C-alpha cells in the first residue's frame, strides 16, 4: 500500500476495485466502514454484489476482465469535466497532456459496451472520485489476476496521478496483500528479477554487492518466473524446492501442474502438512508453523513485525530457514552456518537498503514501515510524499484488451474465483481449526437465479462445470450476488477444485495467472454417485 | 485490566487546563473528563467504557463531582472544559459506586467467571472486589435470557450474566460496522439479541469475536478458549502476528504448558487496534493438529512410497538427488519457490540457497497465482 492502514478511515471518496475486502481483509474493511459512518462515499467496482457493494454509493458490476475500459472511461470523464489536479500533474508527472488526449476517445458509452456497466454509473463514479479532496483506491487480486493485470494497475495509477491522489493522508493506490507475508517474501528477495530489497539483478552494482556478500558470482540475467519454470519441468527444470505452497491446488490448470511436478527428477517440499503437493514429492521436510516460529513478517502497509514462538513444534519439525540452510550445507556449500532467525534477518537487513535502518531488536514493537534507509530514520508510513522514486509519475497510454479466452456458444458463462470469509485458501489451516466448518462446510457455485431457471438448474441441486481443461461437479446456490452470466466459486474445498478449469493465460509482464476470468459451460447433473469416481469429471472424494 | 488507547496532548495553541482532585492538569480539546483522569492514573471505575467506542454513559460508575453542578456527572460523556474543577474520588462518590456495584451484581447469576471468557471478562469481578460489593444486599431479577439453543462453536451467549452495558452492541456497530446484534426491551427485560431474535449464524454476525472480548462480565464468552479452561498450568501470552491475510493483526496467543488455549486481540496492535476477524480469533488450532508433519519423509525407490526418515537421512537423500540433477542437467535445472506464508527468514534462505548456492536467479514466490 502507498498509504498506511490508519489512513483508511480518512478518505472522502473510497474506490474499491477487485477487492472483496469484507471477506478477504475483514479488519481492514472495518476501517472503510468507519470512514463511511463518518460520511465518506464509496465506489465499488466488482462483477459480484459483494459485501462492500451492499454499502457502496455506486456499485459498478463490471464484466470480469473489463477493468481497463471502465478506468479509461472514468479518466475520460475526469478530464472532460476538468477535475484534474493540474498543479500535481505539472509538478510531479509527465505525459499528462498526451494522456488527456488519449482518453478523449474513451467515453462511458464506449466503455459500457465492454464492461456492461450503466454509462450513468460510470459517470457518477468518475465525478465522485475526480471531485474528492482525498480519494483513495484499494484493490486486490481482482485487478492483478488477469492477462492485463499490469494494465489494470497502471490504469488505477493514471487516475491517482491525474487527480493528485498520491502522497497525502487518506489517498493513494493501495493493493491489499492476501497472505500474511507475501510482501515479505518479495522484500526478502524471493523473486527472479530482484535481490533482497527489490534490487534488480541486472544492475552491475547490485551484482557486485551480492557477489561480495555471497562469495559467488550470480547469473547476470533475471531468472525465470515460477510460471515458466512449471512449463519447463522435465525440459530444462529438473528439480524444485517448494516451501509452504500447495502448488497443485492453488495454481491454475491443475492437470498441467500435476504433470509438471511429476516430471521432475527431484521435488523437495517443505510444509507443515502432507498437502497434495507434498504427496508427490521425493522428500518432504516438516516445518514449524505459526506460533512455533520466531521470525519476521511484513504486512500490506509495509510494516515489519515480529513473529514469536509460543509453543514447541511437533516431533522433529524445524524452522524453514534451518531446513534450507542445512540442506545447503549438505550440498557442500559454505556460508550457511546460521544458528538463529535473528542472524538470518540481520543479514537481510545488512543487504537491503529498504531495511538498512532495521535489525531484529529494532522491530520488536512493529513501529517501522519500510523504507527505513538509516538507523535514525523513522520509517515511511506514506510513500511518495516528497516525490516519486524514479522522478516523475508517468501516465501510461493504455488500451483495452479482451481476456485470452472469451465467451463462445460452447462456453457461454464466466467463472470467477476467490475466497470466502471463514475459510482460508485451500483450508489446510482453517479446515483443521475447530468450528470453522460450522460456518462453511462445503463449496457451492453461486449462480444468478435467472441463469438457474434458464439452464434448468435447481437451487441446491448439482451442476457440471466444464471447459477444455477440465470438468467438475458442484452444488448450485441461487443468488443475485452473481450477475447474470457469471458464476463464482472459491478454491477452498478439495472436492471442488476450480483450478482444474482456470488457466486462460498470464499477464505478459508479471506472468500472473488469469484466475479471475474463465469461460465455462454449465449444465445440470444428478447428485454425486458412489465413492471412487476420482479423476477428471468426477468429484474427487 | 490495563487499558490502552490513552490520548496524547497535541501541543497546539494555548495550553488548556482543568483541576483534577486539586491538581491543575493540561488537556486536549475534545478529551473527556474520563480520558484526562485516565491519563493521570485516577482509575475511575466503569463497566460500559471501551476506549475504542463512543462514550455511552450507561453504567454511571464513572460519576465525578463537578464544581457548580448539583449532581455527580458521568465523566465518560463530559467533555473537559478550561477551568473545570473535578473530584474523582470522594466518600460520597465511593458510596454511590458501591451501591451501583451491589445492584449490578444482583442482576447476574454469576459474579465470577473464568478468565477464558475473554479479554475484559474480569472487569466486573475486579470492581466488586475493589468496592467490597459482594454483599447480596439486593435481590435483583436476572437481566437477560441466556441462549443455550445457539449451537455456534465460538460465542457463548449467557445473558443471565448480562448487565446491559451495550458494549457488545456498540463494538459490533461502531467498530465492526456489522450491526448484527441489538437491544430489545428496557429495564430488567433488556435483552441483547439479533434481528428477529434468532441464532447468530442467521444474523449479520461475522464471528469476529469482538463482542466477546469487550464483554465485562462473561455474559459472552470465547467457547474455544473455554473448552481449554481445565488445561493445567498458568495462562501465558505471547505476542505475535495473525497467520492469515496481509493486514498483519497483532495477537496475544494464550498458552498453557505446550498447548495454545486461545487468542486475544492486541488492543495496541498497530494494524488492528484490537480488532480481529473469525480466522484470527478462532482458527488457531491447526497448529497442534494430529495431521502435522513431525518427521521428514523420503520416497523409497522400490515401493515408490513416502516413508518417515531421520533428518540426517532425509537431508542427505535430498542433497544427493539435487547434486545429481546439477550433474546431469546443470545448476540452472533447479528451481526454488518460496512461501508467502512463512517468515522472511524462510524466503531469504530460499533465495540465498538458489543465488549463493547455485548462482542462478531461479527463485520466485507464490504471488503469481
| Per-window interface: A 502-521 vs B, CB < 8 A | 506, 510-513, 515
Question: What structural domains does chain B harbor?
Answer: 16-89 (3.10.20.740), 108-227 (3.30.70.20), 231-290 (2.20.25.90), 297-368 (no CATH)
**B348/A345 touch (CB, cutoff 8 Å), yes or no:** yes
**A223/B360 touch (CB, cutoff 8 Å), yes or no:** yes
Chain A residues closer than 8 Å to B246 by CB: 25, 176-180, 182-183, 299-300
Helices vs. strands in chain B: H and E counts, helices first: 9, 16
What is the pLDDT, as a whole number, of residue A12?
97
Does the pLDDT of residue B2 top 70, yes or no? Answer: no
Which among A9, A146, A265 has a CA at the least distance from the CA of B174? Answer: A9
**A296/B174 touch (CB, cutoff 8 Å), yes or no:** no
C-alpha distances (whole Å) from A536 to each of A259, A361, A497, A501 are 14, 52, 10, 11
Q: Could you tell me which residue, B234 or A534, shows the higher pLDDT? A: B234
| Sequence-separated contacts (24+) of B140-146 with Cβ below 8 Å | B140/B103, B140/B106, B140/B107, B140/B188, B141/B107, B141/B188, B142/B107, B142/B108, B142/B109, B143/B107, B143/B108, B143/B188, B143/B190, B144/B190, B144/B191, B144/B192, B144/B219, B145/B191
Q: What is the DSSP string of A127-185?
A: HHHHH-SSEEEEE-HHHHSSTTHHHHHHHHHHHHHHHT-SSSTT-EEEE---STTHHHH
**B362/A223 touch (CB, cutoff 8 Å), yes or no:** yes
What is the pLDDT, as a whole number, of residue A536?
42
What is the pLDDT, as a whole number, of residue A252?
83
CA distance B344 to B355: 16
What band does B1 get if pLDDT is binned at 50, 70 and 90? very low
End-to-end Cα spacing for chain A: 40
CA distance A359 to A361: 6
Chain A residues closer than 8 Å to B335 by CB: 224, 226, 229, 237, 239-241
Chain B residues closer than 8 Å to A192 by CB: 361-364
Which ranges constitute the DSSP H helices of A299-340?
A: 320-330
**B283/A433 touch (CB, cutoff 8 Å), yes or no:** yes
| Per-window interface: A 106-125 vs B, CB < 8 A | none
Q: Write the ipTM.
A: 0.95
**A463, exposed or middle or buried, with CB in 10 Å at 0-12, 13-18, 19+?**
buried
Cβ-Cβ contacts under 8 Å for A292 (sequence gap 6 or more): A309, A310, A311, A312, A313, A317, B287
CA distance B41 to B28: 17
Number of neighbouring beta carbons within 10 Å of residue A39:
7
C-alpha distances (whole Å) from B131 to each of A57, B3, B45, B58 are 50, 20, 10, 19
Interchain contact A468–B (C-beta under 8 A):
no
**A297/B248 touch (CB, cutoff 8 Å), yes or no:** yes
For residues B67 and B86, is the Cβ–Cβ distance under 8 A? Answer: yes
Which among B99, B345, B84 has a CA at the least distance from the CA of A338? Answer: B345
Would you state the cell numbers that stand for residue B41, as one nine-digit string? Answer: 492514573
CA distance A367 to B30: 27
CA distance A32 to B273: 14
**B356/A367 touch (CB, cutoff 8 Å), yes or no:** no
* Residue A239, H or E segment: strand A239-243
β-pair partners for B64: B73
Per-residue pLDDT of B94-142, as tens digits, reads 999 999 999 999 989 999 999 999 999 999 999 999 999 999 899 877 7
What is the pLDDT, as a whole number, of residue B12?
53
**B338/A185 touch (CB, cutoff 8 Å), yes or no:** yes
Which ranges constitute the DSSP H helices of chain B?
A: 33-39, 91-106, 123-130, 167-170, 210-214, 223-226, 278-282, 311-329, 344-352
- Residue range A56-73: mean pLDDT, rounded: 98
Does the pLDDT of residue B309 top 60, yes or no? Answer: yes
Question: What structural domains does chain A harbor?
Answer: 5-176 (3.40.228.10), 178-223+290-370 (3.40.50.740), 224-286 (no CATH), 413-525 (2.40.40.20)
CA distance B207 to B201: 8
**B353/A324 touch (CB, cutoff 8 Å), yes or no:** yes
Residue with cell 447469576: B109
What band does B3 get if pLDDT is binned at 50, 70 and 90? very low
What is the pLDDT, as a whole number, of residue B8?
38
Per-residue buried b or exposed e for A349-363, using 16+ beta carbons within 10 Å of the residue's own CB = bebbbbbbbbebeeb
Per-residue pLDDT of A269-311, as tens digits, reads 999 999 999 999 999 999 999 999 999 999 999 999 999 999 9
CA distance B202 to B194: 9
* Among the partner residues A221, A243, A436, nearest to B283 by beta-carbon distance: A436
Provide the 3-class DSSP secondary structure of residue B213. Answer: helix
Least confident of A401-405, A534-538, B174-178: A534-538
Would you state the cell numbers that stand for residue A106, as one nine-digit string? Answer: 474513451
Interchain contact A39–B (C-beta under 8 A):
no
Residue with cell 493501495: A174
Chain A residues closer than 8 Å to B351 by CB: 188-191, 195-196
| Per-window interface: A 170-209 vs B, CB < 8 A | 176-193, 195-196, 201
Chain B residues closer than 8 Å to A30 by CB: 175-177, 275
What band does A83 get if pLDDT is binned at 50, 70 and 90? very high
Cβ-Cβ contacts under 8 Å for B285 (sequence gap 6 or more): A432, A433, A434, B224, B260
**B368/A296 touch (CB, cutoff 8 Å), yes or no:** no
Per-residue pLDDT of A422-459, as tens digits, reads 999 889 999 999 999 999 999 999 999 999 999 999 99
Mean pLDDT in chain A?
95
Amino acid at each position: 500500500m502507498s498509504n498506511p492502514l490508519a489512513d483508511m478511515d480518512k478518505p472522502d471518496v473510497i474506490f474499491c476495485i477487485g477487492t472483496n475486502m469484507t471477506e478477504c481483509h475483514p479488519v481492514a474493511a472495518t476501517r472503510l466502514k468507519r470512514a463511511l459512518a463518518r460520511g465518506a462515499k464509496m465506489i465499488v467496482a466488482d462483477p459480484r454484489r459483494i459485501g462492500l457493494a451492499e454499502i457502496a454509493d455506486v456499485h459498478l458490476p463490471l464484466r470480469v476482465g473489463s477493468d481497463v475500459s471502465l478506468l479509461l472511461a472514468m479518466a475520460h470523464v475526469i478530464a472532460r469535466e476538468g477535475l484534474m489536479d493540474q498543479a500535481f500533474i505539472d509538478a510531479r508527472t509527465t505525459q499528462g497532456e498526451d494522456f488527456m488526449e488519449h482518453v478523449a476517445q474513451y467515453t462511458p458509452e464506449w466503455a459500457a459496451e465492454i464492461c456492461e456497466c450503466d454509462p450513468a454509473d460510470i459517470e457518477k463514479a468518475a465525478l465522485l472520485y475526480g471531485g474528492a479532496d482525498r480519494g483513495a483506491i484499494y484493490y486486490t487480486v481482482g485487478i492483478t489476476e488477469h492477462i492485463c493485470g499490469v494494465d489494470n494497475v497502471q490504469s488505477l495509477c493514471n487516475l491517482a496521478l491525474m487527480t493528485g491522489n498520491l502522497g497525502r493522508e487518506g489517498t493513494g493506490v493501495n493493493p491489499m496483500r492476501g497472505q500474511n507475508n507475501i510482501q515479505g517474501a518479495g522484500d526478502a528477495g524471493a523473486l527472479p528479477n530482484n535481490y533482497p530489497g527489490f534490487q534488480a539483478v541486472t544492475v552491475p552494482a547490485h551484482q557486485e554487492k551480492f557477489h561480495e556478500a555471497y562469495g559467488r558470482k550470480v547469473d547476470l540475467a533475471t531468472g525465470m518466473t515460477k510460471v515458466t519454470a512449471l512449463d519447463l519441468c522435465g525440459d530444462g527444470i529438473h528439480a524444485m524446492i517448494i516451501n509452504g505452497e500447495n502448488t497443485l491446488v492453488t495454481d491454475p490448470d491443475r492437470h498441467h501442474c500435476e504433470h509438471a511436478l511429476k516430471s521432475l527428477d527431484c521435488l523437495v517440499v517443505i510444509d507443515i502438512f502432507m498437502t497434495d503437493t507434498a504427496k508427490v514429492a521425493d522428500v518432504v521436510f516438516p516445518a514449524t508453523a505459526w506460533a512455533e516460529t520466531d521470525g519476521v513478517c511484513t504486512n500490506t502497509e509495509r510494516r515489519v513485525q515480529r513473529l514469536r514462538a509460543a509453543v514447541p513444534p511437533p516431533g522433529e519439525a524445524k524452522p524453514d530457514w534451518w531446513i534450507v540452510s542445512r540442506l545447503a550445507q549438505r550440498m557442500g556449500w559454505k556460508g550457511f552456518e546460521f544458528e538463529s532467525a535473528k542472524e538470518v534477518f540481520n543479514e537481510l537487513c545488512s543487504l537491503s537498503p529498504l531495511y538498512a535502518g532495521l535489525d531484529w531488536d529494532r522491530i520488536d514493537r512493529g513501529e517501522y514501515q519500510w523504507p527505513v534507509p538509516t538507523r535514525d530514520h523513522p520509517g515511511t508510513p506514506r510513500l511518495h510524499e516528497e516525490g516519486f522514486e524514479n522522478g516523475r509519475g508517468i501516465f501510461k497510454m493504455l488500451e483495452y484488451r479482451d481476456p485470452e479466452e472469451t465467451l463462445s456458444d460452447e462456453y457461454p458463462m464466466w467463472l470467477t474465483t476467490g475466497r470466502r470469509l471463514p475459510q482460508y485458501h485451500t483450508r489446510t489451516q482453517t479446515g483443521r481449526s475447530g468450528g470453522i466448518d460450522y460456518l462453511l462446510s462445503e463449496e457451492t457455485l453461486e449462480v444468478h437465479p435467472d441463469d438457474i431457471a434458464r439452464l434448468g438448474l435447481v437451487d441446491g441441486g448439482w451442476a457440471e462445470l466444464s471447459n477444455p481443461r477440465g470438468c467438475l461437479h458442484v452444488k448450485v446456490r441461487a443468488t443475485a450476488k452473481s450477475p447474470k452470466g457469471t458464476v463464482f466459486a472459491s478454491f477452498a474445498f478439495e472436492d471442488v477444485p476450480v483450478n482444474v478449469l482456470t488457466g486462460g493465460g498470464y499477464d505478459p509482464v508479471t506472468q500472473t495467472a488469469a484466475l479471475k476470468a474463465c469461460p465455462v459451460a454449465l449444465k445440470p447433473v444428478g447428485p454425486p454417485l458412489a465413492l471412487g469416481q476420482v479423476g477428471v469429471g468426477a468429484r474427487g472424494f | 485490566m490495563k487499558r490502552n488507547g490513552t490520548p496524547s496532548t497535541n501541543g497546539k495553541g494555548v495550553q488548556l487546563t482543568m483541576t483534577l482532585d486539586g491538581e491543575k492538569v493540561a488537556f486536549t480539546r475534545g478529551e473527556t473528563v474520563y480520558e484526562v483522569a485516565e491519563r493521570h492514573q485516577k482509575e475511575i471505575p466503569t463497566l460500559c467504557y471501551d476506549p475504542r467506542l463512543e462514550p455511552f454513559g450507561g453504567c454511571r460508575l464513572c460519576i465525578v463531582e463537578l464544581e457548580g453542578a448539583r449532581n455527580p456527572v458521568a465523566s465518560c460523556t463530559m467533555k473537559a472544559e478550561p477551568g473545570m474543577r473535578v473530584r474523582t474520588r470522594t466518600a460520597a462518590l465511593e458510596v454511590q459506586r458501591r451501591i451501583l456495584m451491589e445492584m449490578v451484581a444482583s442482576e447476574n447469576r454469576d459474579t465470577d467467571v473464568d478468565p477464558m471468557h475473554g479479554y475484559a471478562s474480569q472487569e466486573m469481578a475486579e470492581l466488586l472486589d475493589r468496592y467490597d460489593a459482594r454483599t447480596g444486599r439486593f435481590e435483583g431479577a436476572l437481566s437477560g435470557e441466556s441462549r443455550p439453543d445457539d449451537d455456534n462453536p465460538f460465542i457463548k451467549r449467557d445473558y443471565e450474566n448480562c448487565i446491559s452495558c451495550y458494549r457488545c452492541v456498540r463494538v459490533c456497530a461502531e467498530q465492526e460496522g456489522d450491526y448484527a446484534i441489538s437491544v430489545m426491551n428496557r429495564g430488567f427485560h433488556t435483552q441483547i439479541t439479533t434481528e428477529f431474535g434468532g441464532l447468530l449464524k442467521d444474523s449479520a454476525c461475522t464471528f469476529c469475536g469482538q463482542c466477546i472480548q469487550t464483554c465485562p462480565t462473561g455474559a459472552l464468552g470465547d467457547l474455544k478458549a473455554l473448552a481449554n479452561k481445565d488445561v493445567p498450568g498458568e495462562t501465558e501470552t505471547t505476542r505475535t502476528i495473525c497467520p492469515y491475510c496481509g493486514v498483519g493483526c497483532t495477537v496475544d496467543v494464550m498458552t498453557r504448558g505446550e498447548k495454545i488455549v486461545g487468542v486475544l486481540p492486541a488492543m495496541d496492535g498497530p494494524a488492528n487496534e484490537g480488532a480481529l476477524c473469525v480466522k484470527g480469533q478462532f482458527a488457531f488450532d491447526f497448529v497442534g493438529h494430529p495431521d502435522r508433519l513431525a518427521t521428514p519423509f523420503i520416497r523409497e525407490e522400490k515401493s515408490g512410497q513416502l516413508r518417515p526418515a531421520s533428518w540426517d537421512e532425509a537431508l542427505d537423500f535430498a542433497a544427493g538427488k539435487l547434486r545429481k540433477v546439477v550433474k546431469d542437467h546443470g545448476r540452472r535445472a533447479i528451481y526454488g519457490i518460496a512461501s508467502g506464508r512463512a517468515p522472511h527468514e524462510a524466503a531469504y534462505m530460499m533465495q540465498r540457497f538458489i543465488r549463493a548456492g547455485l548462482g542462478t536467479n531461479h527463485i520466485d514466490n507464490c504471488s503469481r497465482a
